[in-house]
């Protein structure tokens, strides 16, 4: 029998992208809820309890409610794309490349928290340097980022795209999260293995999908006389042997004049760069991804495949 998959929130931005990725698959059976019934709690509860894997693409509160709906049913496994469970130690963190044993943890888990889009970039850059001992636990990390506007879900997409919207967004690029209390900070700290919360400044650009995450570092404040070369080496060694996260060659990075935020739009990959000049005091670590690809729906499908292998 084919495993049954239910995407709760399938008519939203992340849910639709997962559905598109599943369209050609005949190894799974997709359970579906009509769009007009998407908030019908009774029907959702039935579908959630009929699934082998339920993928939640809902706001945090609704995701918690969905988890409660299957609490007594051990045969349902969950992937939650919301922020609700990302630092909960009872949930496996769904970033398969973050540690060698992570794919196994995800495969065997009942509950998997899909990582946030910005944290995928930040943790992807920071964690290997913490594990290699180059980055001190208490380094004052800053994370500056730009996301495509689909990161804001249906509401922001309408503000950007709909003519005559009552609250349109005209800015080609804007900063937000100005209180510095963004919901992704705890996740970056915990899975980035940091003792201090990073200072995170997000922004949105007037393009639908794409993301740049930057983590600038002062080399003199790192361990082991860290250099452009040793940082690149640590990242390359960490990601060797898989094909989703690419650590861009130092020479290639040195010859680049610019990084295009939309280069990886519509892909499920991530590129990591180490920028700077040999012998100079700073490096800038950069992650490039699609906020809806490796940053959300692509990672969710990757996690589902790992869980179905178990």
Ligand X SMILES: CC(=O)N[C@@H](CCC(=O)OP(=O)(O)O)C(=O)O
Ligand Y SMILES: NC(=O)C1=CN([C@@H]2O[C@H](COP(=O)(O)OP(=O)(O)OC[C@H]3O[C@@H](n4cnc5c(N)ncnc54)[C@H](OP(=O)(O)O)[C@@H]3O)[C@@H](O)[C@H]2O)C=CC1
Applying CB under 6 A, the residues found at the interface with ligand Y are: 9, 11-15, 38-39, 57-60, 62, 81-83, 116-117, 150-151, 153-154, 291-292, 295-296
Choosing among ligand Y, ligand X, none, which partner's interface includes residue 12 (Cβ < 5 to 8 Å by kind)?
A: ligand Y
Q: Rule CB under 6 A: say whether 204 interacts with ligand X.
A: yes
Which is closer to ligand X, CB of 63 or CB of 76?
63
Q: Rule CB under 6 A: say whether 83 interacts with ligand X.
A: yes
Catalytic residue among 51, 92, 117, 185: 117
Q: Rule CB under 6 A: say whether 205 interacts with ligand X.
A: no
Beta-carbon contacts of 173 under 8 Å, excluding residues fewer than 6 positions away, are 146, 203, 204, 205, 206
| Minimum CB–partner distance for residue 97 and ligand Y (Å) | 17
| Minimum CB–partner distance for residue 32 and ligand Y (Å) | 13
Which is closer to ligand X, CB of 202 or CB of 210?
202
Choosing among ligand Y, ligand X, none, which partner's interface includes residue 141 (Cβ < 5 to 8 Å by kind)?
A: none
Which of residues 117, 235, 245, 283 is near ligand X by CB under 6 A? 117
Which of residues 128, 192, 202, 276 is near ligand X by CB under 6 A? 202
Residue 193, Ramachandran bin (φ over 0: left; ψ between -120 and 50: alpha; else beta): left
| Minimum CB–partner distance for residue 227 and ligand Y (Å) | 34
65 CB-side CA count, 13 A: 14
Instruction: From 235, 214, 216, 177, select the one nearest 288 (Cα to Cα).
Output: 214
69-77, 144-152, 164-172, 237-245 -> range binding ligand X (CB under 6 A): 144-152
The full DSSP string for the chain is: -PPEEEEETTTSHHHHHHHHHHTT--SSEEE---GGGTT-HHHHHHHHHH-SEEEE-S-HHHHHHHHHHTTT-TT-EEEE-SSTTTT-TTSEE--GGGSTTHHHHHHH-SEEEPPPHHHHHHHHHHHHHHHTT-S-TT---EEEEEEEGGGGHHHHHHHHH-TT-SS----SEEE--TTS--TTHHHHHHHTT-SS--EEE-EEESSSS-EEEEEEEEGGGSSTT--HHHHHHHHHHHTTT-SSEEE--HHHHHT-S---TTTTTT-S-EEEEEEE-TTSSEEEEEEEE-TTIIIIIHHHHHHHHHHHH-
Which is closer to ligand X, CB of 116 or CB of 128?
116
57 flagged as catalytic: no
Interface of this chain with ligand X, residues 208 to 237, rule: CB under 6 A: none
* Pairing mode, strands 203-205 and 270-276: unpaired
| Minimum CB–partner distance for residue 291 and ligand X (Å) | 7
Q: Rule CB under 6 A: say whether 9 interacts with ligand X.
A: no
Number of residues that bind ligand X (CB under 6 A): 10
- Per-residue mark of binding to ligand X, 90-109 (x: CB under 6 A): --------------------
145-153, 163-171, 239-247, 271-279 -> range binding ligand X (CB under 6 A): 145-153
| Minimum CB–partner distance for residue 11 and ligand Y (Å) | 4
Q: Rule CB under 6 A: say whether 116 interacts with ligand X.
A: yes
Active site residues: 117
- Residues near ligand X (CB under 6 A): 81, 83, 116-117, 147, 151-152, 184, 202, 204
């Amino acid at each position: 029998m084919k495993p049954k998959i239910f995407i709760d929130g399938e008519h939203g931005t992340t849910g639709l992208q997962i559905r598109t990725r599943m369209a050609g698959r005949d190894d799974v059976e997709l359970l579906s809820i009509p769009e007009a019934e998407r908030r019908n709690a009774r029907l959702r509860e039935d579908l959630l309890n009929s699934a082998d894997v339920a993928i939640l693409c809902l706001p945090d509160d609704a995701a918690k409610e969905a988890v409660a709906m299957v609490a007594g049913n051990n045969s349902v496994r969950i992937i939650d794309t919301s922020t609700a469970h990302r630092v909960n130690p009872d949930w496996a963190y769904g970033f398969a490349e973050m540690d060698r044993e992570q794919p196994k943890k995800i495969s065997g888990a009942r509950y998997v928290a899909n990582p946030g889009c910005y944290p995928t970039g930040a943790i992807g850059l920071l964690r290997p340097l913490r594990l290699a001992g180059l980055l001190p636990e208490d380094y004052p990390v800053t994370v500056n980022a730009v996301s495509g506007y689909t990161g804001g879900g249906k509401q922001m997409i309408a503000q950007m795209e709909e003519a005559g919207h009552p609250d349109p967004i005209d800015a080609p690029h804007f900063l937000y999260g100005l209180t510095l209390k963004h919901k992704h900070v705890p996740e970056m700290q915990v899975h980035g293995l940091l003792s201090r919360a990073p200072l995170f400044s997000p922004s949105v650009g007037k393009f639908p999908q794409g993301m740049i995450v930057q983590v600038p570092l002062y080399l003199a404040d790192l361990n082991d006389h860290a250099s452009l070369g040793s940082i690149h080496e640590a990242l390359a060694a960490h990601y060797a042997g898989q094909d989703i996260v690419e650590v861009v060659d130092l020479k290639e990075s040195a010859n680049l004049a610019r990084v295009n935020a939309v280069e990886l739009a519509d892909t499920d990959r991530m590129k990591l760069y180490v920028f700077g000049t040999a012998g100079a005091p700073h490096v800038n670590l950069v992650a490039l991804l699609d906020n809806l690809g490796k940053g959300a729906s692509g990672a969710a499908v990757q996690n589902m495949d790992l869980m179905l292998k178990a």
